[in-house]
């Protein structure tokens, strides 16, 4: 392997593991918080929490103009130009935009509170709850502006610190509220957590010493309108996607129970939060890194292939272990009341390899700034996402949603691959293809073992699969990044 390739792989691994390490702390805080929700609120309380959070997320996607995502590209480009004055003016434009869009979200949620209560919960008992969480829209948008600045400047370690601090503050605030007020404290917990998160992020960005610069109309015309144009289509695509998820939750509430919504929420919290650690890590540094080489076909193809390969190699041991000990993990994270989500999660885990592909390739659309293509791609995928989820729940309950998840990411991977292949000349490396095939075989084998065998055989065979997965991943990561040599050099220095 060429030295430049090894350095490139190492850079991708380093960025992923920095934020992966951060996510470990975030997950630890989330584990405690989830346990508190499970114990103090139960599955029904988890369902209410999930519905309120999803409503906030839906309205946020309707009003935030996708600024957190679109602004990263503008700030990253301004930063790479070495024109500090222009960079500071771009940041000033972003901060003004997030304030006004945040106020818009706050006022809209406030006005729609009675209607939201009736649509989401089928009664007017939660009007006050929606009134309470409406302020969250402002705090979330202001926070997203600060995140965009940190991410656009590629302040990796600072972003890691603020992520940990925010996760910790959410835990410290939520625990006493859930303990003292139970389900009635959910809206207050959401709002206060969002406010404190904003304060922490604001304080941290102050350390960057970004000067306050007067509003510049010329910079707004060039950068602000660019952020809004791309961000609008991003937010619309996000709105479609989040709206689809919101509709699924409402459908479950109306045809099933709020407790089922709680199991659904808990299941996907595990998938997104714990298993999805790699994707959370990827999103932080990979996007701005890809944006910097977006005009170079060879460089961007290398970035996508190498980041995807690193993601899959890290996922293989995580997913095989996760499948084997899923029942125990759910009992630890929640309570035995939540074991009803096991079959849904087992199927959903199968889709994670495909998700690594579609996520990595999908960022090409963002890095190139092709918001229209991104929008229509998201619209198409949302149609089959909604259809398959509703169909899955109707015929197979929560297990059907897990099965739908696999089909969704199979279709989405094919869709994104064809899009990037035809429009951006993307090509898969043979190295990535081999890693994907091996990882898929190991994951399918583990799935069959945990679903089709008895206890002693399950754990003996399953442990073997976990060991093979770990050794395969470690061997390849070491070959591509020189982990062992790096560790040895550090030991010698000491």
**Tens-place pLDDT, residues 444-479:** 999 999 999 988 899 999 999 999 999 999 999 888
Q: Is the pLDDT of residue 83 over 90?
A: no
- Residues 171 and 74 placed together within one structural domain of the fold: yes
Query: Phi and psi at residue 210, in whole multiples of 5°?
Result: -80, 120
Last residue of a domain, one of 239, 273, 295: 239
Cβ count near 151 (within 10 Å): 23
Alpha carbon distance 400, 250 (integer Å): 16
- Residues 399 and 428 placed together within one structural domain of the fold: yes
Q: What is the C-alpha radius of gyration for the chain, rounded to an integer number of angstroms?
A: 22
Average pLDDT on 349-357 reads 91
Would you state the pLDDT for residue 22? 65
Alpha carbon distance 419, 363 (integer Å): 12
Among 411, 412, 57, smallest CA distance to 243 is for 57
Alpha carbon distance 63, 108 (integer Å): 9
- Residues 175 and 317 placed together within one structural domain of the fold: no
DSSP alpha helix (H) spans, 325-429:
326-333, 342-350, 352-367, 371-396, 398-424
Average pLDDT on 291-313 reads 88
Residue 52 has which token pair?
A: 């309120």
Among 190, 196, 326, smallest CA distance to 271 is for 326
- Residues 339 and 427 placed together within one structural domain of the fold: yes
Average pLDDT on 416-421 reads 93
Would you state the pLDDT for residue 25? 76
Would you state the pLDDT for residue 493? 63
Q: Is the pLDDT of residue 120 over 70?
A: yes
Alpha carbon distance 379, 363 (integer Å): 16
Would you state the pLDDT for residue 295? 86
Alpha carbon distance 468, 430 (integer Å): 21
- Residues 154 and 278 placed together within one structural domain of the fold: no
Q: Is the pLDDT of residue 69 over 80?
A: no
Whether the Cβ atoms of residue 1 and residue 479 lie closer than 8 Å to each other: yes
Whether the Cβ atoms of residue 28 and residue 71 lie closer than 8 Å to each other: no
Would you state the pLDDT for residue 264? 93
Q: Within a domain: residue 460?
A: yes
- Cα of first residue to Cα of last residue in the chain, in angstroms, is 29
- Residues 274 and 305 placed together within one structural domain of the fold: yes
Residue 413 has which token pair?
A: 């991977």
Q: Within a domain: residue 248?
A: no
Q: Is the pLDDT of residue 13 over 60?
A: no
Whether the Cβ atoms of residue 292 and residue 80 lie closer than 8 Å to each other: yes
Average pLDDT on 403-428 reads 94
What are the DSSP calls for 429-460, one per residue? -HHHHHHHHHHHHHHHHHHHHHHHS-HHHHHH
Distance from chain centroid for Cα 195: 21
Give me the number of domains the chain comprises: 2
Last residue of a domain, one of 239, 274, 305: 239
Long-range contacts of 447-454 (CB under 8 A, 24+ apart): 447/323, 447/346, 447/349, 447/350, 449/324, 450/323, 450/324, 450/326, 450/346, 451/346
Residue 314 has which token pair?
A: 């890290």
- Residues 326 and 439 placed together within one structural domain of the fold: yes
Would you state the pLDDT for residue 310? 87
Alpha carbon distance 318, 326 (integer Å): 12
Q: Within a domain: residue 436?
A: yes
Sequence-distant (6+) residues with CB within 8 A of 258 are: 44, 47, 48, 51
Whether the Cβ atoms of residue 29 and residue 167 lie closer than 8 Å to each other: yes
Q: Within a domain: residue 246?
A: no
- Residues 139 and 184 placed together within one structural domain of the fold: yes
Alpha carbon distance 476, 479 (integer Å): 5
- Residues 100 and 226 placed together within one structural domain of the fold: yes
Instruction: Report which listed range, 74-83, 123-132, 217-226, 236-245, is most confident.
Output: 123-132
Alpha carbon distance 475, 15 (integer Å): 20
Q: Within a domain: residue 195?
A: yes
- Residues 282 and 182 placed together within one structural domain of the fold: no
Last residue of a domain, one of 211, 239, 267: 239
- Residues 459 and 334 placed together within one structural domain of the fold: yes
DSSP state of 82: T
- Residues 229 and 364 placed together within one structural domain of the fold: no
Q: Is the pLDDT of residue 107 over 80?
A: yes
Alpha carbon distance 287, 292 (integer Å): 9
Q: Within a domain: residue 36?
A: no
DSSP state of 224: I
Query: The tokens 């696999």 sit on which residue?
Result: 406
Alpha carbon distance 231, 369 (integer Å): 10
493: helix, coil or strand?
Answer: helix
Q: Within a domain: residue 244?
A: no
- pLDDT, one tens digit per residue, over 230-279 is 788 777 767 787 888 899 999 999 999 899 999 998 898 888 776 666 77
Alpha carbon distance 70, 101 (integer Å): 14
Q: Within a domain: residue 56?
A: yes
- Residues of the chain with pLDDT > 90, as a percent, come to 47
Distance from chain centroid for Cα 13: 18
What is the domain range of residue 85?
Answer: 41-239
């Amino acid at each position: 392997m060429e030295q430049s390739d090894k350095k490139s792989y190492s850079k991708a691994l380093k960025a992923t593991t920095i934020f992966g390490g951060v996510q470990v702390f975030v997950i630890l805080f989330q584990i405690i918080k989830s346990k508190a929700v499970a114990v103090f609120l139960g599955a029904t309380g988890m369902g209410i929490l999930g519905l309120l959070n999803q409503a906030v997320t839906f309205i946020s996607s309707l009003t935030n103009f996708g600024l957190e995502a679109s602004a990263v590209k503008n700030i990253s480009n301004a930063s790479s130009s070495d024109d500090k004055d222009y960079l500071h003016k771009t940041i000033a434009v972003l901060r003004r935009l997030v304030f006004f869009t945040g106020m818009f979200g706050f006022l809209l949620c406030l006005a729609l509170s009675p209607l939201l209560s009736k649509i989401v919960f089928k009664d007017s008992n939660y009007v006050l709850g929606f009134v309470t969480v409406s302020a969250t829209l402002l705090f979330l948008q202001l926070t997203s502006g600060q995140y965009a600045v940190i991410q656009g400047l590629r302040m990796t370690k600072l972003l890691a610190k603020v992520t940990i601090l925010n996760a910790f503050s959410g835990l410290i605030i939520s625990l006493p509220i859930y303990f003292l007020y139970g389900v009635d404290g959910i809206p207050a917990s959401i709002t206060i957590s969002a406010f404190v998160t904003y304060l922490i992020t604001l304080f941290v960005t102050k350390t960057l010493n970004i000067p306050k610069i007067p509003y510049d109309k010329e910079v707004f015309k060039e950068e602000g309108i660019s952020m809004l144009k791309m961000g609008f289509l991003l937010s619309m695509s996000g709105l479609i996607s989040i709206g689809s998820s919101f509709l699924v939750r409402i459908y479950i509430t109306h045809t099933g129970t709020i407790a089922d919504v709680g199991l659904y929420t808990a299941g996907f919290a595990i998938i997104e939060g714990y298993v999805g650690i790699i994707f959370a890590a990827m999103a932080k540094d990979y996007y701005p890194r890809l944006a910097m080489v977006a005009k170079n076909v060879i460089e961007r193809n290398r970035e996508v292939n190498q980041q995807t390969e690193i993601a899959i190699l890290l996922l293989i041991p995580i997913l095989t272990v996760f499948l084997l000990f899923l029942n125990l993990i759910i009992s630890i994270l929640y309570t035995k009341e939540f074991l009803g989500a096991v079959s849904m999660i087992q199927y959903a885990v199968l889709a994670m390899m495909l998700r690594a592909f579609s996520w990595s390739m999908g960022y090409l659309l963002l890095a190139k700034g092709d918001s229209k293509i991104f929008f229509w791609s998201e619209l198409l995928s949302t149609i089959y996402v909604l259809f398959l989820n509703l169909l899955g729940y109707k015929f197979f309950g929560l297990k059907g949603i897990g099965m739908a998840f696999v089909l969704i990411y199979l279709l989405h991977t094919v869709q994104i691959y064809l899009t990037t292949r035809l429009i951006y000349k993307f090509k898969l490396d043979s190295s990535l293809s081999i890693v994907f095939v091996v990882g898929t075989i190991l994951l399918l084998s583990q799935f069959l073992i945990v679903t089709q065998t008895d206890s002693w055989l399950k754990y003996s065979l399953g442990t073997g699969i976990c060991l093979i997965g770990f050794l395969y991943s470690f061997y390849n990561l070491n070959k591509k990044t020189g982990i062992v040599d790096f560790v040895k050099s550090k030991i010698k220095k000491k």
